[in-house]
Amino acid sequence: MFYKTKLKNNLRLIVSPISKTKTVTLLVMIETGSKYETKAISGLSHFLEHMFFKGTTRRPSTLAISTALDEVGGIYNAFTSKEYTGFYVKVASRHIRRAFDVISDILQNSKFESGEIKREKKVIIEEINMYQDTPMHYVGELFEQLLYGDQPAGRMVIGTKKTVSSLRQKDFLDYLQKMYKASNMIVCMAGNISSSRAKKLTEKYFTRLYKGKPKPKPKVKEKQTKPQVLVHWKKTDQTHLCLGVRTYNISHPDRYILALLGIILGGGMSSRLFISVRERLGLAYYIKASPEFYTDSGYLVIQAGTDTKRVKKACQVILDELRKIKKESVGKKELTKAKEFIKGATSIELETSDAQAAWLAKQEILTKKLRTLKQVFADIDKVNSRDIRRVAGNIFTNKKLNLALIGPHKNKEAFRRILRI
């Protein structure tokens, strides 16, 4: 159950009351992220997220902000993606006013002092170093770079050392005024709170938001006519790879079919790829398959860490499984297992107030629609084996194949030659 309304200032409010909990989560999500940035300010959305915690006119330092939430045992953080940015606080329900007071304060009264910006640049550069030194994470970034190239969708959310180093106070203030508008924001609450109280608190605390329409993001451009390979040389004991294909955006009617296809291929320890690549051949410690849905693009990717000497073999086994699933119908028992896997995992995930708030807010940001679990599960149950085979046949083609690798490799043509389905 949820309640949704639009306030007089065009701020959207979503409330999901949960009576059997003593906590409540306040999440403010903004429809902006790295896809809204130009190349010159790449990484600004993420940097701005950091700066909201550096001091306001009321709470002049990071310590003052964190102390206000630590005093009530709050759990709090923020996150930035390519299409949204979020700030949340989870507290005992009796402290919800404190959560509102702090979150509204940082979003409406932050100072963005030049000295703090200068200091935080060093922190973010170390964050970039951390990601680049973590192949399991960084290979996913390279995969999106391979897919989308030199456009916002192909750049890292965190930006580059060059762009982060060049940002100035004016960049933050300009971006804030362009993107952090009431019409572009959602206040989402889940937990032990009524919709009427949530509305009163939102109207009281969020009164100084920018008005007007935000700057739209550029549409993703996609063009691929043959298999693509990106090799990032790094001296490692294990090669990390992402092998995947372009698919559908989040509003596509086949999105749940694709989600089930991902589960069948690599959604658990009984999935096809886990059994064939790890259990039977011992080619990898981890292997998984998952779809990624954006508002205007999407992909299905298989990621693994494998013995460097046998990475081509691992790729060939993965490709064999893709050929198989597009040629042979999935059995009723396997499809039912995949459906119950998704429904069970989703139900478990949404047991907490913070997860429910994020689930609802992301729906509103990415699709402009709110759906109940019952509605989502009904769509999942409609999928049959013919749907799986149809979608597999549509996406698993040579011209849609993409492979990104991190490891001690230099000859990408050798990998391109094996990309055949």
Q: Which amino acids are annotated catalytic? A: 49
Rounded-to-integer distance, Cα 410 and Cα 238, Å? 15
Q: How many residues appear in the chain?
A: 421
Burial class (CB in 10 A: 0-12, 13-18, 19+), 218: middle
DSSP-derived secondary structure letter, 34:
G
Q: What residue spans of 301-397 are helical by DSSP H?
A: 311-327, 332-349, 353-367, 373-382, 385-395
Rounded-to-integer distance, Cα 85 and Cα 78, Å? 8
Nearest to 59 by CA among 97, 100, 111: 111
Backbone angles phi, psi at 350, to 5 degrees: -90, 15
HSE of 384, CA atoms in CB hemisphere, 13 A: 1
Residue type at position 394: N
How many C-beta neighbours within 10 Å does residue 387 have? 18
Rounded-to-integer distance, Cα 121 and Cα 45, Å? 13
Secondary element (H or E) of residue 114: helix 114-132
Contact 131, 13 (CB under 8 A): no
Secondary element (H or E) of residue 205: helix 195-205
Rounded-to-integer distance, Cα 325 and Cα 279, Å? 19
